[in-house]
Structure 1
Amino acid sequence: MTANDGGSTGQQNRPLRADAQRNEDRLLKAAAAAFAREGANASVKDIAREAGVGVGTLYRRFPSKELLIEATYRHEVEILCKAAPELAASLPPGEALRTWMGRFIDFMATKHGMADALRVVLTDDGEQLQTRARLAAAVSHLLATGNDQSAVRPQVKAHDVLMALGGISVMTDTERRPDLAAPLIDLLLHGILTS
């Protein structure tokens, strides 16, 4: 999440300088990796070190760990939603869907790592519904591109795809088997693609 797209860090409408934006992007990328790996207990010092910035830089941008978690979540949603049209434009429909689905599973792993903290931070049901709607729109874009090329079965609905991906995410997390994601995504794609 950048400072000019509605974040909650108190600097919402001011664009960041290029170097500050790079620092924020690195911090959010490092935070997503750390939260996926270690959950909400990930060390802020380790996140700053992984991002190549000082802890002071992290705290100037995100004065609390809760704000870092919230910004990381929103940033990951933004990346995932923006990826759909980019993938649809650059890859064949099946590959675009497969790549996006893999990224969705990675997003869910990050979200699972932050789940307890997110329950406290994201108390607005409207925001959760908005996130689901944005993700469904991303899937719809990929499906529509596939339909245009007769590569996707016309009856496939974005909401159903998201529900199936959610199930895959839960299974891989519950079984502690991230290696299950790829074959299950392939199985899901078998039901989506026309060939």
Structure 2
Amino acid sequence: MTERPLRADARRNRERLVAEARAAFLADGTHASLEEIARRAGVGIGTLYRHFPRREDLLEAVFEGEVHALLDLGRELAREADPFAALGTWLRAVVERHRAWQALASDRPTATSRIPVEQSGKTLLGRAQRAGAARREATVPDLLRLAGAIGRAADDAPDDPGLPDRLLHLVIEGLRAQPRTGKRAR
């Protein structure tokens, strides 16, 4: 049985529910009040349950939205003229999404979403490496681990809002390919 497409008003309600759920899950954790999410979306709780019969269904929709946003960004960045800047922008988006991923990943397996995210990163890293702008030894799994570490560091230091940017800057500068000078470093 195929699902019928949603009417425009139902689609808008669903989109508002997902947006409000994302905000609530980030602020209050994945056990945020569904009634409050529905109220903030401007719909009744029955509308929420029509779209998302279980809390897990709403979590899944929010998580998928995060993955799709990152993949869409990766496709857009793959067309940018400066492949190293595009890679840096993508890494910043991964770091910014860390909190959402951590909150949502504890309630759902992430293996199926990791593959397309890694492929998106490989496209961007490969472009930067082929352009001679990024170190050849860099790998996407390493970059994702570093992005996660930056996110965790930011979570551990909420009184230092500039920390993620400083750490990301260090990672990006360390990722930059070094020009060959002909001399060996000692």
Whether 1:155 aligns to 2:145 is no
CA distance in 2, matches of 1:102, 1:50: 29
Whether 1:55 aligns to 2:45 is yes
User: 1:91-170 residue pairs with structure 2 within 5 A?
Assistant: 92-114=82-104, 116=106, 118=107, 122=108, 128-170=110-152
Corresponding residue number in structure 2 for 1:3: none
CA distance in 2, matches of 1:139, 1:152: 13
Name the SS of the counterpart of 2:78 in structure 1. helix
CA distance in 2, matches of 1:185, 1:42: 30
- Gaps (5+ residues) in structure 2? 179-186
- Give the RMSD, CA atoms, in angstroms: 2.5
Corresponding residue number in structure 1 for 2:184: none
Q: Give the stretch that moved more between structures: 168-177 or 65-74.
A: 168-177
Amino acid at match of 2:129: N
Task: Return the offset for 1:115.
Answer: 5.1
Q: Give the stretch that moved more between structures: 160-169 or 75-84.
A: 75-84
TM score, norm. by length of structure 2:
0.80
Task: Return the offset for 1:13.
Answer: 4.5
Amino acid at match of 1:63: P
Corresponding residue number in structure 2 for 1:23: 13
Task: Return the offset for 1:33.
Answer: 1.8
Task: Return the offset for 1:38.
Answer: 1.2
- Give the paired residue count: 177
Task: Return the offset for 1:40.
Answer: 1.4
2:34 to 44, 47, 55: 44
CA distance in 1, matches of 2:88, 2:51: 34
The 1:66/1:154 distance shift into structure 2, 3 A limit, reads same
CA distance in 2, matches of 1:29, 1:174: 26
Corresponding residue number in structure 2 for 1:190: 173
**Bigger helix fraction:** 1
Cα offsets for 1:164-193 (capped at 9, x unmatched) = 111112211233355321111111111222
Asked whether the 8 Å contact 1:172–1:181 carries over to 2, the reply is yes
Asked whether the 8 Å contact 1:101–1:165 carries over to 2, the reply is yes
CA distance in 2, matches of 1:30, 1:74: 15
Corresponding residue number in structure 2 for 1:76: 66
- Gaps (5+ residues) in structure 1? 1-10
